[in-house]
Amino acid sequence: MCSGNRSKELSKGGKSLGLKWGPGAVSTSVWGGARLCDVLQHCGVLMPKKRGVQYFVCCSGADKLEGAGKDAAPGSGPSSYGTSIPLEVAMDESRDVLLAYEQNGDLLTPDHGFPVRLIVPGFTGGRSVKWLNKIEISAEQSDNYYHLHDNRMLPSQVQDLDTAISEGWMSRPEFVINEMNVNSVICTPAHSQTLTIDPSNEDAAYSITGYAYSGTGKKIGRVEVSLDGGKIWKFCSVGYPAQPTKHGMYWSWCFWETRVDVMELVESSEIVVRAWDSAMNTQPENSSWNLLGNMNNCWYRVKIHQDDSADDPDAGQDERTISFEHPTQPGILTGGWLQTSQASEPESERELTLKLMHQESSSNLDLGDQLPSTPRLL
């Protein structure tokens, strides 16, 4: 999951930087590869014995992007994407950090990091470096431009990028995003979907579905849906597509479903969902705006609109239609009940830079002859 998942919803609190993600910056795959802890131990890496000493695993890829190094900026020349994770996470067998060369039973494709990429389950996707070509152990976190300028959740009082950089907010470790928070989203009804109710189905049940996820590896204990703004919650059935690991970790998303009476939808103005994990972490009712637009996990709301013709005395009384509206639409698409004029504004230079960083296709990346024809771990 990207730490910017659902960032587009934060526009109501002011313009945020970074990509404008809807609720689809998340997925699950079956990864195959070598455990990073095994590779590091093979190379002689040990955990420090002295308490209070922290080391980092710094990783970089073979891609060429604009800007790197703590003093660099967009336009400073081509460089690789890099980031770091704590050494204790990399060395912990229960965290399942991988040097992955397989995805869903096949070798990685170039789009997804061929020949080898890092996979850090539960962490923001920005830590899972593609096209991996360097691993270093350091007493300091990565000084790569993209590590220092993204995947951070700054306090709401930091209102602009110049302030964030000049006052040192970006480099403070307490604002680094690693583990993802609890989140859930409604998938059906879909945006703009309509439902016509007539005597043949007014006593029927309607299925509401979606996904939920927790980046801590904890199980989603329950998902709840409300049709009255959170006064009464209805439990959902929850199913995982994968079993927990031998250490009891739940790294995949889960899918949830509940059924409500059709007439309950007619009498409601919105559908709301929230999830809880096994440690009773849950989603807040309202979002928390931050400059980079990260970690939004407030209740997900789908508005229900009644067909105006229901009030038309000349219209038939045997049927009525309701429609559903999600808060936003993906990417540059317009629509959604939270839509603002910001969606049509030109992208800033920073947004374009971050788009390069998160590029899912290698077609615009100059990898040259750096990628070997077969996977090599060492």
For 196-213, the pLDDT digits (tens) are: 999 999 899 999 999 999
Would you state the pLDDT for residue 350? 44
Rounded to two decimals, the pTM is 0.85
Which one-letter DSSP state was computed for residue 132? E
The Cα 258–Cα 324 span in angstroms is: 17
Q: Which residue has the higher pLDDT, 378 or 201?
A: 201
Please compute the mean of the pLDDT values over residues 28-43 and round it to a whole number.
Answer: 97
Q: Find out whether 273 and 223 touch, Cβ atoms under 8 Å.
A: yes
Angle at 24 between CA 20 and CA 28, to 5 degrees: 135
Half-sphere exposure of 2 (CA within 13 A, CB side): 24
Bridge partners for 194 per DSSP: 323
Kind plus residue range of the DSSP H or E element containing 134: strand 132-138
pLDDT of residue 13: 63
Once rounded to an integer, what is the mean pLDDT over residues 328-343? 74
The active-site residue out of 5, 151, 181, 296 is 151
Q: What tokens appear for 22 in the block?
A: 């809807």
The predicted pLDDT at position 12 comes to 66
Cα separation, 174 vs 140, whole angstroms: 14
**Total H helices, total E strands in the chain:** 6, 19
Residue with tokens 């029927």: 204
Residues with Cβ within 8 Å of 303's Cβ and at least 6 positions away in sequence, in order, are 269, 270, 324, 325, 337
Q: Which of 150, 181, 254, 298 is catalytic?
A: 150
Integer distance in angstroms from the first to the last C-alpha of the chain? 28
Could you report the per-residue pLDDT of 120-167, keeping only the tens digit for each? 999 999 999 999 999 999 999 999 989 998 999 999 999 998 999 899
Marked catalytic residue, from 2, 58, 59, 254? 2
Residue 10 CA, distance from chain mean position: 14
In the predicted model, is pLDDT for residue 376 greater than 50?
A: no
Q: In Å, how far from its chain's centre is CA 351?
A: 17
DSSP output for 283-349: --SS----TT-----PPEEEEEEE-GGGG-TTS-SS-EEEEEE-S--STT---STT--GGGGSPPPH
Does residue 175 carry a pLDDT above 50? yes
Q: Does 2 participate in catalysis according to the annotation?
A: yes
70, pLDDT greater than 50? no
Q: Does the active-site annotation cover 261?
A: no
State the pLDDT confidence band at 332, using cuts at 50, 70 and 90. confident
Is residue 59 annotated as a catalytic residue, yes or no? no
CA dist 330 and 170 (Å) reads 27
